[in-house]
Amino acid sequence: MKKNALVLFLSLLFCLLLPLPASANAAEPPRLSVMVLNPPEGLRLSLVFTSQDQEESVEANGTRLAWEGYYLFRPASFPSFWDWEDSPQDMTIVLKAETAEESFSIPVDNETLTTGTGSYYNNLCVLDLSAQTLTPGAPWWRKPVLILLRVGLTLLLEGLVFLLFGYRQRRSWLVFLLVNLVTQGAVNAVLLGSVGPFGNLYPSGLAYLLVYVPMELAVMVVEIAAFRKLLREKQKLNATVYAIVANLLSWLLGGAMLTYLPL
């Protein structure tokens, strides 16, 4: 009976993981994405386009997650005299930053808006307010810090559950660590490769529904199989129930992290 229930449960998970055809409209991606670390309250960023006697300012849409602020400029809001394929030769573009205490402008090369200069998503640049500089790409330490944060929190939560399920032997904990490092490494690789740093900014939660949920279901299946085979301290049923409970809690934690923390 228990074996039949397990087979039915895994079959349902497998059905959920089957690819389904879908079509949808997507918002136009930003032509320039500016990241600001610990942005002050009320920070406003604008691109100012000037060509001959024409001048137009475009303000970014700003969003903050934890210590990172994101300011996205989309081509649909750019002035009519700007053309990403053939812009006027005399055009100048500056990034204007305004806070309650000061304002300054940084020249922006027109090529920054037409070619990929960032390491992630449509010309990602980092604005340093104190140095008043605009640097292409994300800081080198960003990926390792965020990966360590996500993996560390997951290991802490699932480790507490592992302890509550009565696992004490050193071999059991080595299995726990090895399996989780493999599965969490795969999860983070998928997130970085398919979603990017701004996948959790959209209110529709597409990153959560289309990427994170199927991925966590796959992780649950893999961990159930791995723990049933490798854990010997207790019965296989105990390992199965642990894997389900730990992954459900991790699932909730991961959803919260997608909402409140950068990717």
Are residues 155 and 118 part of one domain? no
What's the pLDDT tens digit per position in 31-46?
A: 788 999 999 998 999 9
- The answer, yes or no, to whether residue 22 has pLDDT greater than 70, is no
What's the pLDDT tens digit per position in 53-107?
A: 788 999 998 888 888 898 988 877 888 777 656 566 678 889 999 998 889 999 9
- The answer, yes or no, to whether residue 48 has pLDDT greater than 60, is yes
What's the pLDDT tens digit per position in 94-149?
A: 999 999 888 999 998 766 666 554 443 457 889 999 999 998 878 888 888 888 88
Judging by DSSP bridges, how do beta strands 68-73 and 61-65 pair with one another?
Answer: antiparallel
Are residues 152 and 242 part of one domain? yes
The 10 Å Cβ neighbour count of residue 39 is 21
Q: How many CA atoms lie within 13 A of 20 on its CB side?
A: 8
Are residues 19 and 81 part of one domain? no
- Among 136, 169, 186, the domain-final residue is 136
> How much is the average pLDDT of 205-231?
81
- Among 136, 156, 179, the domain-final residue is 136
pTM of the model: 0.70
Domain that holds residue 111: 32-136
Point out which residues pair with 93 in neighbouring strands. 49, 108
Are residues 175 and 52 part of one domain? no
Distance CA 70, CA 68 (A): 7
- Among 82, 114, 136, the domain-final residue is 136
Are residues 145 and 122 part of one domain? no
Are residues 239 and 110 part of one domain? no
Percent of the chain with pLDDT over 70: 71
Are residues 104 and 87 part of one domain? yes
* Mean of per-residue pLDDT scores for the chain: 78
Residue 225: which of 171, 183, 165 has the closest Cα? Answer: 183
216 near 158, Cβ under 8 Å? no
Token duo for residue 255: 């959803």
Residue 65: which of 197, 218, 227 has the closest Cα? Answer: 197
Q: Residue 116: helix, strand or coil by DSSP?
A: coil
Q: Residue 215: helix, strand or coil by DSSP?
A: helix
Measure CA of the first residue to CA of the last residue in the chain; give whole Å.
42
What is the number of structural domains in the chain? 2
Are residues 95 and 132 part of one domain? yes
What's the pLDDT score for residue 9?
A: 47
Token duo for residue 176: 């726990």
| Residue in this structure with the two tokens 């071999």, named with its chain if needed | 171
Are residues 169 and 67 part of one domain? no
Q: Residue 55: helix, strand or coil by DSSP?
A: strand
Are residues 188 and 111 part of one domain? no
Token duo for residue 75: 């081509």
Are residues 38 and 64 part of one domain? yes
Are residues 89 and 114 part of one domain? yes
Instruction: Kindly list the distances between the CA atom of residue 167 and the CA atoms of 58, 199, 243, in Å, as whole numbers in the listed order.
Output: 58, 37, 13
